[in-house]
Amino acid sequence: MSDIIDPKFKENVYSTVCHGCGFGCGVFMRELETQAVETGTSCGAPILNIDYRKASPVNQGKLCRFGVNLAGNYCPAVSSVKGKSVSTDEAIAKTVDALKGAKASEIALLSVGGTTNEEHLAFMKIGEKLGVPVSTGMTGLFKDIGKLHAYTGRGTTYEDVETAKKIYLFVDPYVSYPLLVRRLVHAKEKGAEIVAFGLKELPIATQNVTVEPDTSLYDVKEFAPDADTVIISDLTPYTYAKRLAELVEIAGGKSKFLFMRPFMNATGAGYLSKHTKQQSFDDIVSKMESGELKVLICLDSDLIDICLNDNMKETFKNLENAIVISSRDTTACSVADVVIATEPIYKKKGSVMNAEGRLIPITAAAGDTPLTGFYALSAILEALGGSALDFTGVHAEAVQMLGANEDEYKITVPEKKPQPEIKKISDKLPDLKAVFSDFAEPKSFVSSSSKADGESGAGAVKHLYLTNPFLWNGVLDNDNYIELSRCQVKSSALLKGFTADVSCACGEITKATRFKVSPMADGYVLSMRKQPFAKAPITDVVVLRSPTKPNEPEIVKECNVPQ
Amino acid sequence: MSAPENPAPAGAPPAGKPPEKKPPAPSTVGDVLKGSDIQVGGKYIGWSVRDEVRKEGGSGGLVTSILAGALEKGLVEHVVVLKKSSQYEAVPVLTSDVEDVYASAGSMHMLISNPTKYLRQFQNDATIALAVKPCDMRGIREQQKRNMIDLDKIFTIGLNCGGTMMPYKIRKVTEEVYGVNPDDVRAEEIEKGKLILETTDGEHHAQSIDELEEEDNGRRENCRYCVVKIATNADLACGNWGVMPDYAGKGTFVEVMTEKGAEFLRNAIDGGYAELKVASEPAAEARGKVNSIMLKMSAKTKEEVFVPMQSQTMTDLKKELENCIGCGACRTVCPPCACGTEAKCTAFNDPVDNYDISLFHMIRFLHLMDSCVGCGQCSDVCPADIPLARLYRKFANPMQDELNYVTGMDDRTPPFFEIKLEEVQ
C-alpha cells in the first residue's frame, strides 16, 4: 500500500468560499486524511485539492489565479504565546489576561472581513463587553464621506453588470477582481459601452480614459454617468475618499454602483458593524506607532499584510500584546505575542456576504467539524463575564442584522430607503498629497543612487499598487516585476533583457527588478507585489536601469550594449 | 453517477411510430447467465439484484452493482463515487466503503466531473474502479500513453453520453424556462429529443433539447460536436441505448470491451450482485442506430462551429485571447495534459513578455493537437469565458482528421511521439 492512500484514509469535501477577495467565488475544498501521511505540506497543512463548484451562482466554477492555487494557501496557524506553542486554551487565557489588564482606550479590535459573519458578530460581542467597537478598516473613509456611504452598500448584482448599457470601470478587473472579467465580456457582447478610467488601458474597454490619481472627476469630460450607467469601483482601506465622494456626488441618484471589496466578507463585516463607532485604520496604526495602543486583537485580519507600509512588522512590536486569532499562518502570526489558531476557513460553518450583497452559506460538508474559531471567541467572552455563545443563535442574529436571504441563489435587496440628499463635500476633503504623505509633485526628488542623468530627474515617477488577492493576503506569485509605459521605459534608459533599480526618498532601493512595458500613462510605475521602496499607496520613486544585467555579465560585454 | 445515462440521444429526433402493428422486439434472448458465460465482445442486458439499487440507480442499477461487487470482493481497493451536494453538483470522492457506492446510485446530466485529473493525484498507488463518460476515458488513456496513469490499476465502466450540461445554467433554465423550482427537481432524463425533469411531486416537465440549444441553454458546446458517444474505450461500455421497452428503466445494455471487463462482470454475477441476459440482435442494432444518429448530429454541429473558423486570422485569435488573466486553470484541469509542474507552456511563458499571443497559449495549441480529447473542461473553468475548447479543436481537428487519429480511444501512439527527426543532408 502506498504513501498516498492507506486503507483508513478519509476524504472530506467542503463547500466554501475563496478568501482571496470579496467577489464570493464558490469552491470545493477536498481534504485527504490518511494515516500514512499526516500532513501534505511542509507547513503542516493536510493534503488539499480544490474542485470547481460549477453550480455557484457567483462564479459558476471559474476561479482566478489565486483561487486555482487556493489549496496552497492554508498553512495552519499554531496557537502560541511569545512564539512558544501552547494549547488553544492557554492562548485564550493569555488573551483574557491581556484584555483585563488594559483600559478600553488602550485596546483595538480589528476584523476586516476575513472570516464568517458569525465569527465577526461574536467578536463584536466581545467588543461590546469591553466597550471597544470592532473596526473593519473602512471607517476612515466613511468618516470623511459621511452620508454618502449609503450609496456604497448593496446595489448592483453581477448579473446586472452583464445587462448594463454603459459601464464605468474604476478598477483593473484583470488584476484586482478577475472574475469580473467574464461579466464584462458578456456585457460587451450584448453591446455595452465600457469606459475604463485610470492609468492603464484595458482590453475589455471600448474606451480608455487616462485619469490620474489626483485628477478631479469634475474635470473629466468623459465621465458622464446617467441612468443606464453601472459604475464599478472598490472600497479598500486605501480608497481615496475625495475620489469616492466625487463619484457619488456626480453619479449618485441616477447611476447604479457596484463597489468591490478586497476581503472575503468585507461586505458582511461592514454591514454588521455599520452602526458602531469604530476606530479608523489610520487611527489604529497611529496609536500603535505612538505606543498609546497596548492591545490589538486581529480576527483573521493580518494588519501587516494589509498595510502597504512595509514597516508595519516593526510597528507591531510597539504593542504590549499583539493578539492574532487566525485560521491561517500569516505574517502577523510570526510577530504576534499571542496566536489563537482556529480551523481553516473551508472548515468553518456559517455565512459570508459578497460584494453584490449575496449571503453565501458555508456548509462544512464533513458534518460536525468543531468550530474552534467561534468557540474561542465565545470562551473569551465568557471569561470577560459575558454569556457563552450559541452558534445557531448568533447565525440567526447575523442573518437578521444583514437582512439577507439565506438562499445563495437569491439576493434580497434591502428595503429601499430614501437616499440621502447629496451635498457636495469633495471640495472640503483632503487632497491626495495630504492623505498620502509620500505623494508629491512629479520629479520632486532625485535618488542619490541614480547614475543616469539624475540632475534632470530622468526616471522619476510615481509608484502605485495594483492591488490584488495575492497582495492583500501576503502570498507571493509570479508578479515580481514593475510595469511602465514605453515612453517611461525610454526615460528610465531601460533595455530589454535588463532589469531596473527602483529607489525612493526614504532610501530604500529594490535592485534588479524586472519590468514590463504596458499600455499606460507616463510618469507612473505600477506593481502588484509589496515593495520596500513604497511606504504608502502612492510613492515618489526613481526607476533606472540596473548597472549590469543580472547573472549574465559576460553577455553584456559581448553584446556591447550602448550605455 | 453509477447509473447509465441517456435512454435516447439528446436532441435526437423522436423515435419511429409507436409499434402498433408489430410488437417491439425483446431486449434479451435466453436465460439468466452464469459468470462463465461472459465473454469479451459479448453484449448483454443486466440489472442489480437488489431492489433498492434498482430503484435508485438509473436503468436497473447494473453499474452500481458491478462497482459494489468489485469493492466487496476485493477486485479493487477503492471506488470513485460522485458525492452530491445537491441535484446539480457533485465531486468525485474515493471510497472503500460499499455503502458510499450504493448511496451514489443515480445520476444527472449536469454532474460534470474530471476523474482523469482526480486519479492522477493517487499516483497509481491503489487499484481503483470508477464509472466514466467517453471523454473521461479518453483523458485517462492519453495519460496512460504518457505513463501517468497505469491502466492495470484501474477498472473503468464507460457510460453512454449524449452530452452534459453546466450545473448553474441548467438550474437557471429549470427556473426560467421550465417554471420549476430547481430545488424541487428529483431526477432528469433525456428521451426522444427532450430534457425531462421529474419533480418531487412526481410530475414530468419536458422541453425540446433542440429549442433549448438554440438559446444556448442545452448541452455544453463541445458535447454537441463530440465524436464518441459510447465509451468503447473503457473495460465495459454501458448505457440504455438499445434497451427495448420491455426493459426500459429496468435494464442496462453492456458491451464487454476487455478481459478485465469480463472478469468484473463475472464477479458481479457470481457474487450475487447482478443478473444478465444476452442482448438481442434488435437491441444491439437499436443501440448502434442511436449512436449513428448522435454522431451525424455531432458531425453537423462540428461543421457549423469549425468551418467558419477556418478563415480566422491571427488577429482574430489574439482577440479571442485578449482577456486571458493567466490563471492557468485550463491547463490544471486538462485531462490529457501530463506535464505536471515542469510544463513547457508555463516554463516558456513570462508575464513580462509582450507577445501578441502568449507563449502559454501557443504552446498549448501545439501540444494539444495530438492529445485534445474535446472534453471542454478548459472552457468550463475559464474565468474570462474564452471558448478554449473550440480554439484547441481548431488546431487539433485538421491533424487528427488527416491522420484518422481519435485521441484516447486505443493504445495508438500519439502522432507527435512518432515524429523521427532526420539529419538534413
The verdict on residue B9 lying in a domain is no
The structural domain count of chain A equals 4
Whether A54 sits inside 8 A of B351 (CB atoms) is no
B-chain CB neighbours of A23 within 8 Å are none
Whether B142 and B380 have beta carbons less than 8 Å apart is answered as no
Least Cα separation, residue B365 to chain A (angstroms) = 20
- Checking if the pLDDT of B157 tops 60, the result is yes
Range of the domain at B357: 308-418
How many angstroms separate the CA atoms of A115 and A298, rounded? 11
Which chain A residue lies closest to B168 (C-alpha atoms)?
A55
Q: Which residue of A has its CA nearest to B329?
A: A68
Considering the domain architecture, whether residues A285 and A191 belong to the same structural domain is answered as no
Number of folded domains that form chain B: 2
Q: Are residues A152 and A189 in the same domain?
A: yes
% of chain B with per-residue pLDDT over 90:
66
B93 part of contact set with chain A, CB < 8 Å? yes
Spacing of C-alpha A247 from chain mean position: 21
Phi-psi region of B422 (alpha: psi -120 to 50; beta: other; left: phi over 0): beta
Last residue of a domain, one of A239, A261, A283: A261
Query: Are the C-beta atoms of A259 and A182 separated by less than 8 Å?
Result: no
On the question of pLDDT at B350 being above 70, the answer is yes
Residue bearing cell 448594463? A164
Burial label for A171, CB within 10 Å (0-12, 13-18, 19+), is: buried
Q: Answer whether B383 sits within 8 Å of A13, measured CB to CB.
A: no
Residue B190 lies in a domain: yes
Q: Which residue is closest to A52 within chain B, CA to CA? A: B381
User: From CA A483, how far away is CA A479, in angstroms rounded?
Assistant: 10
Q: Reduce the DSSP state of residue A460 to 3 states and report it.
A: strand
Interface test with A, best of B89, B181, B317, B386 (most A CBs within 10 A): B89
Bridge partner list, A210: A198
Q: Which chain B residues touch A52 with a CB distance below 8 Å?
A: 329, 333, 380-381
HSE-up (13 A, CA, CB side) for residue B241: 30
Angle between helices A372-383 and A117-130 (to 10 degrees): 10
Quick one: cell of B224? Answer: 454537441
Q: What is the CATH number of the domain that holds A53?
A: 2.20.25.90
Which domain covers residue A15, as residue numbers? 10-73
Show residues of chain A in contact with B383, CB under 8 Å: 59, 62-64, 178-179, 181-182
Contact A500, A508 (CB under 8 A): no
Q: With contacts defined as CB-CB under 8 Å, which chain B residues touch A49?
A: 121
Half-sphere exposure of A520 (CA within 13 A, CB side): 24
> Does residue B17 belong to any structural domain of this protein?
no
HSE-up of residue B189 (Cα within 13 Å, Cβ side): 22
What ipTM was estimated for this complex? 0.91
Distance CA B301, CA B221 (A): 9
pLDDT of amino acid A451: 39
Domain assignment of residue A419, yes or no: no
User: Residue A284's CB: how many other CB atoms inside 10 A?
Assistant: 23
pLDDT given at position B18: 54
Do A389 and A294 have their domain in common? yes
Residuewise pLDDT in 10s, chain A (563 residues): 344 455 556 788 889 999 999 999 999 998 877 544 444 456 777 778 899 999 999 999 999 999 999 998 888 999 999 999 999 999 999 999 999 999 999 999 999 999 999 999 999 999 999 999 999 987 666 666 666 666 777 778 999 999 999 999 999 999 999 999 999 999 999 999 999 999 999 999 999 999 999 999 999 999 999 999 999 999 988 888 889 889 989 998 889 999 999 999 999 999 999 888 888 888 898 899 999 999 999 999 999 998 877 778 888 889 999 999 999 999 999 999 999 999 999 999 999 999 999 999 987 655 556 789 999 999 999 999 999 999 999 999 999 999 988 899 988 766 666 666 677 888 888 887 776 655 444 333 333 333 344 445 678 899 999 999 999 999 989 889 999 999 999 989 999 888 999 998 777 888 889 999 999 999 999 999 988 888 778 888 999 999 865 555 443 333 333 33
Which is nearest to B329 in space by CA: A50, A30, A159, A185? A50
Burial pattern B22-33, b for ≥16 Cβ within 10 A else e, equals eeebbbbeeeeb
What pLDDT was estimated at residue B108? 60
Residue of A nearest to B325 (CA): A174
Residue B343 DSSP code:
-
Sort out which chain B residues have CB atoms less than 8 A from A365's CB and list them.
85
The answer on pLDDT for B11 being more than 50 is: no
Using a CB-CB cut-off of 8 Å, the residues of chain A touching B166 are 54, 60
- Name which of A1, A33, A66, A68 to mutate to probe chain B: the one with the most chain B Cβ atoms within 10 A of its Cβ: A68
CA distance B57 to B4: 8
Point out the residue among A28, A174, A409 whose CB comes nearest to the CB of B91.
A28
* CA neighbor of B43 nearest in space, from B232, B250, B233: B232
Closest CA to B137 of B358, B390, B411, B344: B411
Q: By CA distance, what is A182's nearest residue in B?
A: B384
In A, which residues are within 8 Å of B74 by CB distance?
Answer: none
Q: Which residue of A has its CA nearest to B76?
A: A7
End position of a domain, from candidates B277, B301, B325: B301
d(CA A325, CA A320): 16
CB contact under 8 A, A61 and B168: yes
Task: Out of B274, B301, B328, pick the residue that ends a domain.
Answer: B301
**DSSP code of A200?**
B
For CA atoms B117, B119, B122, B124, the dihedral sign is negative
Helix then strand then coil, in percent of chain A rounded to 5, is 30, 20, 50
Determine the residue of chain A that is closest to B80 in CA distance: A11
SS3 state of residue A422: coil
Assigned domain for A421 exists: no
Q: Using a CB-CB distance cutoff of 8 angstroms, which residues of chain B are in contact with residue A481?
A: 351-352
Distance CA B101, CA B80 (A): 8
Q: Put the strands of the sheet holding A207-210 in their side by side order.
A: A207-210, A193-198, A166-169, A229-234, A256-260
Chain A CA closest to residue B331: A68
- A155, A212: one domain: yes
Report the amino acid identity of residue A105.
S
Please judge whether B383 and A203 are an interchain contact, meaning their C-beta atoms are less than 8 angstroms apart: no
Q: Closest Cα of chain A to B318: distance in Å?
A: 11
Same domain, A58 and A120: no
Q: Are residues B260 and B209 in the same domain?
A: yes
CB-based contact (8 Å) between B245 and chain A?
A: no
Q: How far is B118 from chain A (nearest CA, A)?
A: 9
Q: Are B234 and B137 a contacting pair, CB within 8 Å? A: yes
Same domain, A299 and A245: no
If asked whether residues B128 and B207 sit together in one domain, one would say yes
Cβ contact, residue pair B123, A15, below 8 Å:
no
Q: b or e along A99-112 (b: 16 or more beta carbons within 10 Å of the residue's beta carbon)? A: beebeeebbbbbbb
B339 Cβ under 8 Å from any chain A Cβ: no
Question: How far is the CA of A342 from the CAs of A302, A536, B16, in angstroms?
Answer: 14, 31, 63
Q: How many Cβ atoms are within 10 Å of A430's Cβ, its own excluded?
A: 12
Q: Which residues in chain B have their CB less than 8 angstroms from residue A479's CB?
A: 351
Domain boundary among B301, B316, B347: B301
Q: Are residues B234 and B173 in the same domain?
A: yes
Q: What is the 3-state secondary structure (H, E, C) of A46-60?
A: CEEEEEECCCCCCCC
Cell (9 digits) for B80: 470513485
Clarify whether residues B345 and B222 are in a common domain. no
Same domain, A280 and A169: no
The answer to whether A528 and A471 are in contact (CB under 8 A) is yes
Residue A221 lies in a domain: yes
Q: In this structure, are strands A500-504 and A509-517 parallel, antiparallel, or unpaired?
A: antiparallel
In a domain, A266, yes or no: no
Residue from B319, B352, B375, B382 whose CB has the most chain A CBs within 10 Å, to mutate: B352
In this predicted model, what pLDDT tens digit does every residue of A20-71 receive, in sequence order?
999 999 999 988 775 444 444 567 777 788 999 999 999 999 999 999 999 9
Q: What is the CATH number of the domain that holds A389?
A: 3.40.50.740
Q: A13-50 as b/e, with b when 16 or more CB fall inside 10 Å? A: bbbbbbbbbbbbbbbbbbbbbbeebeebeeeebbbbbb
Tell which residue, A454, A457, A521, has the closest CA to residue A485: A521
Look at B323 and A186 and tell me if their CB atoms are within 8 Å: no
CA B218/CA B241 separation, integer angstroms: 20
Give a yes or no: residue A427 inside a domain: no
Contact B225, B301 (CB under 8 A): yes
Per the CB < 8 A criterion, the answer to whether A314 and A536 are in contact is no
Cell of B280: 438481442
Report the residue of chain B nearest A514, measured CA to CA.
Answer: B352
Same domain assignment for residues B202 and B169: yes
Measuring CA to CA, which residue among A293, A372, A256, A255 is closest to residue A110? A293
Specify whether the CB–CB gap between A339 and A353 falls below 8 A.
no
Q: CB neighbours (10 Å) of residue A322?
A: 26
A204/B contact by beta carbon, under 8 A: yes
Helix axes B314-321, B388-402, angle to 10 degrees: 140
Supply the DSSP symbol for A298: E
Residues A218 and A304 in one domain: no
Q: Which three cell numbers stand for residue B339?
A: 506535464
| B193/B338 same-domain check | no
In a domain, B294, yes or no: yes
* Smallest Cα distance from B94 to chain A, Å: 7
| pLDDT at residue B391, as a whole number | 96
Query: Cα Rg for chain B, rounded, in angstroms?
Result: 22
Query: Is the same domain home to A313 and A248?
Result: no
Same domain membership, residue B314 and residue B289: no
B273 and B347 fall within a common domain: no
Which of B327, B345, B382 to mutate against chain A (most A CBs within 10 Å)?
B327
CB atoms B166 and A1 under 8 Å: no
Looking at the structure, do residues B296 and B323 belong to the same domain, yes or no? no
CB A5 to CB B83 under 8 A? Answer: no
pLDDT at B425: 62
Residue A13 and residue B354: Cβ atoms within 8 Å?
no
Q: CB of B328 within 8 Å of any CB in chain A? A: yes
- Given a cut of 50, whether residue B4 has pLDDT beyond it is no
Q: Are residues A280 and A378 in the same domain?
A: yes
CA distance A217 to A234: 16
Q: Which residue has the higher pLDDT, A230 or B2?
A: A230
For residue A208, is it within any domain?
A: yes
Residue A455 class from Cβ within 10 Å (0-12 exposed, 13-18 middle, 19+ buried)?
exposed
Angle between helices B388-402 and B281-306 (to 10 degrees): 110
For A276-332, the pLDDT digits (tens) are: 888 888 889 889 999 999 999 999 999 999 887 777 888 888 999 999 999 999 999
* Interface residue of A30, A52, A520 to substitute, partner B, most B CBs within 10 Å: A52
A204 vs B contacts (CB less than 8 Å): 323
- Please name the amino acid found at residue B10: A
* Maximal C-alpha separation, chain B: 77
Last residue in a domain, options A55, A73, A91: A73
Please give the DSSP secondary-structure letter assigned to residue A12: E
State in Å, rounded, how far the first CA of chain A is from the last one: 63
Q: Per the domain annotation, does A411 fall within a domain?
A: no
Look-up of cell digits 500569516: A330
The candidate with the shortest Cα–Cα distance to B175, out of B143, B142, B151, B199, is: B199
Chain-centroid distance of CA B54 in Å reads: 22
Q: Are A445 and A550 in the same domain?
A: yes
Task: Say yes or no: B255 and B354 in one domain.
Answer: no
* Amino acid, single-letter form, for residue B97: D
CA distance linking residue A245 with residue A412, whole number of Å = 26
Which among A56, A59, A185 has the least Cβ separation from residue B323?
Answer: A185
Residue A425 lies in a domain: no
Cβ–Cβ contacts within 10 Å for residue B108, how many? 26
Specify whether B181 is located in the same domain as B231. yes
Q: Do A481 and B352 touch (CB under 8 A)?
A: yes
Nearest CA in chain B to A53: B89
Is A214 found in the same domain as A251? Answer: yes
Q: Which of A56, A181, A479 sits opposite B323 (nearest CB)?
A: A181
Q: Which residues pair with B129 in a beta bridge?
A: B79, B155
For residues B40 and B137, membership in a common domain is answered with yes
Cβ–Cβ contact A412 with B under 8 A: no
Q: Do B329 and A62 touch (CB under 8 A)?
A: yes
In this predicted structure, the answer to whether residue B152 has a pLDDT above a threshold of 80 is yes
- CB contact under 8 Å between A181 and B322, yes or no, is no
A388 in B contact zone (CB under 8 Å): no
Number of CB pairs, chain A paired with chain B, less than 8 A apart = 123
Residues B163, A53, A57, B360, CA torsion sign: negative
